[in-house]
Amino acid sequence: MWALLALTLLPGREKIPGAEVFSATMQGLHVVVTRPRATGKVPILFEVAWLSCDSVEQPKGPEDGFTQLIWDLAAHYATFRVDKPEPCSELDFDHELAAYRTAFASLKELDFVDRVYIVGFSNGGGIAPLVTDKAAGYLVFSGWYKTWLEHMLEHERRRMHITGVSEAELNDKMKQYATFYDLYLNGRQTPGAVLKNHPQFKPLWSDEPARQYGRPAAFYWQLQSLNLGRAWSAVDAPALLVHGSDDWIMSADDFALLAAALNARNPGSAEFIEWRGLDHGLYTRGKKADPALTEKVVTWVRAH
């Protein structure tokens, strides 16, 4: 057990090969910390997690490719994960970001850490530089870079396409979605309020009147207000950007644009990979992880 200023690390519930696992409660936040069994100072991977309220702690074993990757990397590096504050279902983005920043500030208390890398998954892959722009490097997977409105419009188009909506009908619906999401995200109206004033859009919406994907409408208003281009422009560290070829949730074009922007400012600093066969959660179609991805991350961190 380590007793630190803000963290008292106790044995954790996960059993990760090659790593010691600890958990802690810090200012109401549930934290999971690991370090490889090797002695001495090591880099630490600070996770900025996905959009959903699912816990980052998975004591029965990894339930997604994001967590599988962190487990695989835990034998090489220290890791730091933090659950969203409760009740997560009522949490807006500004308060979630504040929680990540609070957790990140506690890293200075860990005496076995020599440098910090940010690892962002899904929504966390977009907002990673907002947690800190001073990390040693950024490894982001399945993330976003454009405005949230653009992301949602592209997401709806891909979703309809894979469900078999005809091109003609898709074109008509995208015109409606453009107005709907503008009123929702830029107009800061709840989806229910938009539908009340525009009942013709009701076939577009299957989620709750004041929520989407389990989070309140305010969460997405705040995402739309972000300028990720400005956030990433403050980053001088190298970045590894990975998008799965089977990921229809997020657009590979976002990472291509981000890589181009980073490399234009600092040539060679960003590497973008469209990883063949992986879905949004970094699993193959057989719901397995690709060990080559772990090898790539280890090689990349060693080189940076």
- What is the CATH classification number for the domain harbouring 7? 3.40.50.1820
Q: Both 19 and 117 in a single domain?
A: yes
**Residue 41 main-chain phi, psi, to 5 deg:** -75, 145
Instruction: Tell me: pLDDT of 26 over 90.
Output: no
Q: Both 16 and 111 in a single domain?
A: yes
What's the pLDDT band for 174 if we cut at 50, 70, 90?
very high
Rounded-to-integer distance, Cα 276 and Cα 48, Å = 23
The last residue of one of the domains, among 179, 203, 224, is 224
Say which residues have a Cβ less than 8 Å from residue 288's Cβ, sequence separation at least 6: none
Rounded-to-integer distance, Cα 221 and Cα 258, Å = 22
Rounded-to-integer distance, Cα 131 and Cα 133, Å = 7
Question: Considering the entire predicted model, what is its pTM?
Answer: 0.94
The last residue of one of the domains, among 157, 191, 224, is 224
Instruction: Tell me: pLDDT of 10 over 90.
Output: no
- Per-residue pLDDT tens digits for 239-265: 999 999 999 999 999 999 999 999 999
The residue-averaged pLDDT of 72-84 equals 96
